Amino acid sequence: MQPVKLFERTYLHIGLGKTGSSAIQEQLYRNADLLEREYDIHYPRDLDDSGVFDGNHSRFLSAMFVDGEELSRPQIVAGFKSRKEVEQYAAHTRARFEKGFAASSATRLLVSAEAVGHHSEQRLILLSQWLRQFSKEILIVACVRHPLEALSSEIQERLKRGFVLEDLYQTPPYYKLRNLFGRVDTAFSGCDVCIYDFARAAANPAGLAVALLEQIGVQAALPVQPSRFTNTSMSQEAALLLSALNRSTPMVIGEGLNKARTPNDVIEFIGIPGRKYQAPAEVHERLRQLAEPELSWLKATHGIELQAAPVQYDVDHNYFSQESINSIALRIARLNRYRYFLAAPFRFSGRYVRALWKQLITKIR
């Protein structure tokens, strides 16, 4: 049966991570009506009723296309408790996407989800099969950044998801470009791929969203608005403390969230002030060696030569600044006050029971 909506072309923006994807998605989301009305582009936005959608399609696509029977770590962190919950959410989300497709008058579709860059080949194939139902052509769009430029941010993101510094330093996170684009080529066979340099996009005075649209041949004038996504770096001290928490009290145990962790404990830790976090020199050097084959492949295959600015390293990554010590002391004192007042009824009850017990013993004697 012919689908209700068939777009002339679909643009699938897959990030990559740490290339301003959140800011791009927010601006596209804010201007979805303008894109539809003036530029013939449908940007899906009516996807759930939570009220927290910020323009990032990652969590929807990650839930819609799964492989294997076990829950993935991102699904566990997102709060899913079973495969059945994921499948129900996937069906609901797919229906919301397709309802938006049918209601759109645009001939082009733009979807943005940097999490796609981490999907397995099978998940990419499932995504490709779904998009092909609604698209005559598909263009994959990816922005790339030098791994050394993104290293400290990549580590911080993983700390927030429960990883520890020792493991991240031993195996620095970065995109294996040959593997990633190999999976994309297999899943989206016959589709074009557009890869561009983050450094040049960041220099565009109109912003990263306009730079993305220019890559797909759309000359758009989007209103410039302050972004909520400033991507503020956590402090060196916050990284050390959050890593220690993740080590002693893991975020994920087996196939579920650790009940000893609270939803806001990460926020509490990353709010600790101090020196801006930066990965140590030896980790940068390890990554430089690991990433060299990927960068050489990118230059030879796509003609893109990524550059990284020199990094200035702190002498000691493990000491705590006085500012951090003061902040931690105040936070501990505040938590102790909360605990004291919360325990007040029990202390009163304890004193009352002891007083009654003494009276009883006195009468008996």
Q: What is the pLDDT of residue 117?
A: 92
- The residue range of the domain holding 194 is 9-302
Least confident of 48-62, 152-166, 217-231: 217-231
**Better-scored residue on pLDDT, 323 or 215:** 215
* Alpha-carbon distances of 192 from 186, 272, 288, rounded to whole Å: 12, 45, 29
Residue 351: predicted pLDDT: 61
Residues 298 and 222 both lie in one domain:
yes
Residues 59 and 177 in one domain: yes
**244 located within any domain:** yes
Residues 6+ apart with CB under 8 A from 46: 96, 99, 100
Q: Are residues 295 and 331 in the same domain?
A: no
Asked whether residue 4 is assigned to any structural domain, the reply reads no
Interacting residues of 61 by C-beta distance below 8 A, sequence separation 6+: 111, 113, 115, 116, 127
CB 300 within 8 A of CB 211: no
Q: Both ends of the chain: CA-CA distance in Å? A: 92
- Report CA-CA distances (Å) from 161 to 165, 272, 297: 12, 17, 30
State the Cα–Cα distance between residues 32 and 26, nearest whole angstrom: 10
**How many residues are present in the chain?**
365
Q: How much is the pLDDT for 348?
A: 58
CA distances from 98 to 43, 91, 109 (A): 12, 11, 12
Residue 358 sits in the same domain as residue 281: no
- Distances 96 to 30, 33, 50, 365 between C-alpha atoms, Å: 19, 17, 13, 76
Averaged pLDDT of the chain: 86
**Residue 285 scores a pLDDT above 80:** yes
Residue-level pLDDT at 328: 72
Q: Is 315 inside any structural domain? A: no
Residues 354, 251 share a domain: no
Q: Is residue 260 part of a domain?
A: yes
**What does the pLDDT average to over 273-285?**
91
Element (H, E) at 237: helix 236-248
Domain membership flag for residue 309: no
Task: Please indicate, yes or no, whether residues 261 and 351 belong to a single structural domain of this protein.
Answer: no
Domain count, the chain: 2
Q: Are the CB atoms for 251 and 261 separated by under 8 Å?
A: yes
Same domain? 56 vs 146: yes
Task: Return the CATH number at 253.
Answer: 3.40.50
Q: Which of 137-141, 231-235, 307-311 has the lowest mean pLDDT?
A: 231-235
75 vs 124, higher pLDDT: 124
What lies within 8 Å, CB to CB, of 124 at 6+ separation is 116, 183, 184, 186, 187, 188
pLDDT tens string 171-197? 999 999 999 999 999 999 999 999 999
344 in the same domain as 257: no
Say what the pTM is. Answer: 0.83
For the residues 11-32, what does the mean pLDDT come to?
Answer: 94
Question: Is there a single domain that holds both residue 297 and residue 326?
Answer: no
Q: Are residues 296 and 331 in the same domain?
A: no
Domain boundary among the residues 273, 302, 331 is at 302
Give CA–CA dist 216/211, Å, rounded: 9
**One domain, residues 68 and 186:** yes
Does residue 316 lie within any of the structural domains? no
d(CA 89, CA 93): 6
**313 within domain boundaries:** no
Per-residue pLDDT reduced to its tens digit, 287-318: 999 999 999 999 999 999 999 988 877 656 66
143 phi and psi, to 5 degrees? -105, 130
Residue 1 binned pLDDT confidence (cut-offs 50, 70, 90): very low
pLDDT digits (tens, 9 = 90+) for 32-89: 999 999 999 999 998 876 667 889 999 889 888 877 666 676 677 667 777 788 888 8
Is 85 inside a domain boundary? yes
Together in a domain, 261 and 115: yes
